[in-house]
Amino acid sequence: MDRFLLIAFLCVNWSHLAFSQAALPWTYIPNALLGPANWAGICSTGKRQSPIDIKSSETTLDKGLGAFTLKNYDRKLNKTFTGSNNGHSLGMSFPAGVYNVSGGGLNDVYTTVQFHFHYGPNNTVGSEHIVDGEHYAAELHFVSYNTKYADLMDALNHEDGLAVLGLFIRVGGKNNTAFSFLESARNLTSSYTSISDIPAFRFDRILPANKTKYFRYSGSLTTPSCKESVTWTVFRDAVNISQYQMNLLRQLRKTYTTTSVGNFRPVQPLYDRTIRTSFQVAEMTNTTSTKINTTVTSNWAETTTPTIADQNGTSLISSTGVATTNAEESPPAPTVEFDLGSSAVGMTTGLFLSMLFASMSALIVH
Ligand SMILES: [Zn+2]
């Protein structure tokens, strides 16, 4: 991005904030002043932030955490879904009132309206939650809102507003046919694009086979505005996708917000929260499903030969195995993202100016 475009971009953000108080720019770049450690508002001050490190030895068994009722998750309906690349991730959105989540210790019925992915630049990192300090390669979030509220944006303002089902993803083995929709990512490589004719697919096959073993805690959105309105479910068992399918995600063109660092937020302090489990944690020692497949992980190296090519045989990812980025891209000011509401963010002019400088420096460096 040249200097002129950079200045124009920042000015747009300035006016946007001054007059509409839309969300501030933010990035996943670890040491940038707009990076995760400096995200504004409750992101920095909250005591119920997500994700967290799930320390299995510190969890509490709750026998009240029973099985979920997942309405229509087991059906391939005659509908189409919308897939989007919002500059941070690939997401799929669904009509409200069709796919519902209840049971599983939830007091209300939640309706599923979208899911999206978090992943890293390689297979050793990428999940947002970690278990006993270990990352998975990716994490998928099914986002549902409480049907007693008018819509997703309304629900964001309530402690019991959202229920997110999180599942860990490892890389290895054959293509997982439940994730065939990832082929649509070929048409979403550019940021801020969407396609609305993706044939419906079954959700239950995306989730782990065992849906009764999970962690539960109260937390937040993992992107600004970081609202603390999420009842989190993180399934114990991971699912596998192939390296090819992982690369389909990584080929998504990223914006300045992610660069090559991935799109996962670092874990946040637990404070006085309790992590409950639907299962005896001792069971975890009897399964390998919660551990990263180190063999697969070690097979991934920065020298891995790209396996994704377009129809002309042109590689869509760089020789390092990391999706290429388009530094010339000038994305619009982010307003509504997959994980967040477009709530107003209060801040002082001084802080805003410092963040503008940070934004500028981050953009120039990257
Ligand atoms: Zn998420």
253-294: pLDDT as tens digits: 665 555 567 899 999 999 999 999 999 998 665 444 444 443
Of residues 60 and 7, more confidently modeled: 60
CATH number of residue 340's parent domain: 3.10.200.10
Q: Is 282 helix (H, G, I), strand (E, B) or coil?
A: helix
Quick one: pLDDT at residue 82?
93
Residue 129 among the catalytic residues = no
Cβ atoms 171, 243 nearer than 8 A:
yes
Q: Which residues contact 205 (CB under 8 A, 6 or more apart)?
A: 177, 178
pLDDT of residue 139: 98
Q: Tell how far the Cα of 49 is from the centroid of ligand 1, in angstroms.
A: 13
**Is the pLDDT at 98 greater than 90, yes or no?**
yes
Please give the mean pLDDT across all residues of the chain: 76
Which pLDDT tens digit goes with each residue over 319-364?
A: 333 333 332 223 333 333 333 333 323 233 333 333 433 333 333 2
From start to end of the chain, where are the E strands? 53-54, 60-61, 68-71, 80-85, 90-93, 100-103, 110-119, 130-131, 138-146, 162-171, 193-199, 214-219, 230-235, 239-241, 276-277
Greatest mean pLDDT range, 119-123, 150-154, 302-306: 150-154
Q: What is the pLDDT of residue 116?
A: 95
Among the listed ranges 15-19, 69-73, 86-90, 186-190, which one has the minimum average pLDDT value?
A: 15-19
Q: How far is the CA of 230 from the centre of ligand 1 (A)?
A: 11
d(CA 107, CA 254): 38
pLDDT at 189: 80
Instruction: Give 118 Cα–ligand 1 centroid separation in angstroms.
Output: 6
Active-site pick, 16, 88, 118, 135: 88
User: Is the pLDDT at 301 greater than 80, yes or no?
Assistant: no
Least confident of 71-80, 191-200, 223-232: 191-200
Q: What pLDDT is attached to residue 258?
A: 58
Res. 232: pLDDT tops 70: yes
pLDDT of residue 262: 87
Distance 340 CA to ligand 1 centre (A): 9
| Domain count for the chain | 1
Per-residue pLDDT at 257: 56
Residue-number span of the structural domain to which 338 is assigned: 3-365
CA proximity to 182, closest of 96, 234, 100, 116:
116
297: pLDDT confidence band, cut at 50, 70 and 90? very low
User: Would you state the pLDDT for residue 23?
Assistant: 57
- Taking only the tens place, the pLDDT of each residue in 205-229 is 999 999 999 999 999 999 999 999 9
> What does each C-alpha distance from 53 to 86, 147, 215 come to in angstroms?
27, 29, 11
* Mean pLDDT confidence for 43-52: 97
Give this prediction's pTM.
0.75
Residue 300 C-alpha to ligand 1 middle, in angstroms?
24
* Radius of gyration over every alpha carbon of the chain, rounded to an integer in angstroms: 20
d(CA 323, CA 249): 9
